[in-house]
Chains A and B, each alone.
Chain A
Amino acid sequence: MTKLPKCEDKKLGLLIDLDTCVGCHGCVVSCKEWNSSGDEKQLSDINSHQKDPVGTFLNRVHSYERENSCTNEAETFYFPRSCLHCEDAPCVTVCPTGASYKREEDGIVLVNEDDCMGCGLCAWACPYGARELDLVSGVMKKCTLCVDRIYSEELPPEDRVPVCVKSCPTGARAFGDFNDPNSDVSKKVKERGGVDLMPEMQTKPVNKYLLPRIKSKDSVSSVGSVVEEETDATGLLGWVDRALSKF
């Protein structure tokens, strides 16, 4: 049913640290690999090895620059974008066939592909562009939070996390229960101030983001100042500076 459940037990999701992400697209590649392997799973590509390839992805990494008001310099950061498993998921309630649903036991938003008619309305309802229609199978695709990994009995316990978390080389992605105040992700959100994306859309995302730390004026020296002559050095450095300046 497309009625949203309460999810009082668990709220599973991802915590993504934009301060740590280096934009390597490792999560994108591993996500695509995991979610298109097997008999029933398909994330199709069209013209994959030809001109104008088009494909379906559950996760994409954008690159941005922002003006640091303190140093007046541009700082770059990377931004992985995927389903936020919202508490008030608008993509679920708009679904006419009941294919979209939010699980009561852990809050994961999923699509039952056997019911999807490919109208695309859920993709329109999502503010974040987290859903993509698979152009070959004609059904909607989205992040499953690797529901087939996290509850797997076959995988070793350390692998029972979403594959994007497992594959991230810098540890920028964490997986956990945001309903549990003692979970690692909840503690980090509290400590570093995790934020919601587009809070004005009132979707109450479960996934949280940690924003890039703002560099202070002292932490960055512009390229120009490095080669500038250091004139106010004192002590031993000052002596070296004065001594070398004579030649």
Chain B
Amino acid sequence: MHPAPSIILFTVLSGFGFGLISIIGLLQFLNQISTVDIVIFSVIGLFFSIIGLISSFFHLANKKNAIKSMSQWQTSWLSREAISSIFCLSIVVGNIGWVFVQNRYFNEVGIILFLLSLFTIFTTSMIYAQLKTVPSWNNMLTPALFTFTALAGGSILLLDYASLVLLLIFAVLQVLFWYIADQSFIYKETSVGTALGFSKNEDIRAFDVAHTNRNYLLNEMVYKVARKHAIKIRYISFFAAFVLPMLLILMFPSNFSVSVFVIGIHFVGIYFSRWLFFAEAKHSVSFYYN
């Protein structure tokens, strides 16, 4: 699949923003956070979530109809994502205002924020996980990976050693996701044979393509990456998203400026991870171009 920068930035930045908001919500529910921290970190979370959503807006080819994306919540995960994120961010804004003016907070609002931001991250992941056409996305590892990526990133600023646990879960899920995506059984059902109505193992080869130039389908869904670099990029991603943050947090716990630096490195790693998430994914339409 085409790794569009607008979509990668959207999932990375809004994922981090909603991850941070869910951690704030959890701490608010448990009475473990000061009112000042709620305001500061909620503003940071809000900032990243909104930048992410704006980035996704740039992916749209017909932006004037974007508002209509809130209408199909009954069937569409993308619609649920749009509604859930706007709803969650409205509560964040309300919470910031209330805490800022009153200098106290409701624990109940914390649990609502925690659950709603987790649900938003889940809806984002389901946009991809629902697609039967991309078998490496079409399993529950995708929501698990998206959720723990967001939680791990969001926890770096607010939690000390607890963030290490979340980073570790993220790292395990990430490695598992790459491992599963590499397995041939992922594509066990579809072949050029089934794509053309024959049996799975029919010996068929394309001898001429259907068009003289590249087109939308090829650009979007038969995206060819330099797979020889994929493994190297995985190492870079894993090192930046997990290993370095882990070491830095262990060496400098509770150091805010180090945390900000760690977030920066972590972003680079997650960006590469998402780039691979799209670039390595194989869509069933590619079988027509065998």
Q: A: which residues have CB within 8 A of B?
A: 1-3, 18, 52-57, 60-67, 69, 76, 79, 81, 90, 92-99, 114-121, 123-129, 132-133, 135, 137-139, 195-202, 209, 211
In the complex, chain A residues whose CB is within 8 Å of the CB of B183: none
Docked pose: A34 CA to B270 CA in angstroms = 47
A132-B62 CB under 8 A given contacts A62-B206, A198-B194: no
The answer to whether B207 touches A63 (Cβ under 8 A) is yes
B172, CB-defined interface residue at 8 Å: no
The answer to whether B60 touches A117 (Cβ under 8 A) is yes
In the complex, chain B residues whose CB is within 8 Å of the CB of A199: 194
Q: Could you list 22 A-B pairs, sorted by A, with CB under 8 Å?
A: A1-B74, A2-B75, A18-B197, A52-B213, A54-B215, A57-B215, A61-B210, A63-B206, A64-B205, A66-B204, A90-B132, A95-B75, A117-B63, A120-B61, A124-B133, A125-B133, A127-B190, A129-B288, A132-B215, A137-B62, A201-B190, A201-B284
The answer to whether A79 touches B285 (Cβ under 8 A) is no
Docked pose: A42 CA to B169 CA in angstroms = 50
Selected interface stretch from B44-52, B89-97, B216-224? B216-224
B82, CB-defined interface residue at 8 Å: yes
Docked pose: A76 CA to B130 CA in angstroms = 36
Q: 7 tightest A-B contacts by CB?
A: A118-B61, A138-B61, A129-B285, A118-B62, A96-B79, A60-B210, A138-B62
Known: A117-B60, A195-B197, A211-B198. 7 other contacts (CB 8 A): A64-B207, A96-B78, A124-B221, A129-B221, A135-B216, A195-B198, A197-B196
Q: A124 contacts which of B61, B71, B131, B189 (Cβ < 8 Å)?
A: B131
Docked pose: A199 CA to B210 CA in angstroms = 23
B195, CB-defined interface residue at 8 Å: yes
B177 to chain A, nearest CB (A): 19
Main secondary structure of the interface of A (DSSP, over half): loop
Binary interface profile of B, 76-90, with partner A (CB < 8 Å = 1, else 0)?
Answer: 111100100000000
The closest CB in chain B to the CB of A47 belongs to B213
A85 to chain B, nearest CB (A): 16
In the complex, chain A residues whose CB is within 8 Å of the CB of B62: 116-118, 137-139
The answer to whether A133 touches B216 (Cβ under 8 A) is yes
The answer to whether A209 touches B60 (Cβ under 8 A) is no
**Within B26-81, which residues are at the interface with A (CB < 8 Å)?**
59-66, 68-72, 74-79
Q: B61 contacts which of A65, A69, A133, A200 (Cβ < 8 Å)?
A: A133
Docked pose: A57 CA to B189 CA in angstroms = 28
Docked pose: A114 CA to B134 CA in angstroms = 29
**Total contacting residues, chain B, CB less than 8 A:** 57
Counting chain B CB atoms within 10 Å of each CB, the highest count among A67, A95, A132 belongs to A95
A211-B285 CB under 8 A given contacts A97-B65, A121-B127, A133-B216: no
The answer to whether A54 touches B214 (Cβ under 8 A) is yes
A117-B65 CB under 8 A given contacts A64-B205, A129-B288: yes
The closest CB in chain B to the CB of A193 belongs to B197
B202, CB-defined interface residue at 8 Å: yes
Docked pose: A119 CA to B78 CA in angstroms = 10
**Within B267-283, which residues are at the interface with A (CB < 8 Å)?**
283
The answer to whether B68 touches A209 (Cβ under 8 A) is no
B232, CB-defined interface residue at 8 Å: no
Docked pose: A10 CA to B77 CA in angstroms = 29
A55-B78 CB under 8 A given contacts A64-B205, A198-B195: no
B41 to chain A, nearest CB (A): 30
Docked pose: A138 CA to B75 CA in angstroms = 23
Docked pose: A31 CA to B146 CA in angstroms = 42
The answer to whether A118 touches B60 (Cβ under 8 A) is yes
Binary interface profile of B, 125-165, with partner A (CB < 8 Å = 1, else 0)?
Answer: 00100111110000000000000000000000000000000
B209, CB-defined interface residue at 8 Å: yes
The closest CB in chain A to the CB of B79 belongs to A96
A200-B189 CB under 8 A given contacts A117-B62, A123-B220, A127-B133: yes
In the complex, chain A residues whose CB is within 8 Å of the CB of B212: 53
Q: A62 contacts which of B63, B190, B209 (Cβ < 8 Å)?
A: B209
The answer to whether A56 touches B194 (Cβ under 8 A) is no
Counting chain A CB atoms within 10 Å of each CB, the highest count among B66, B69, B190, B196 belongs to B196
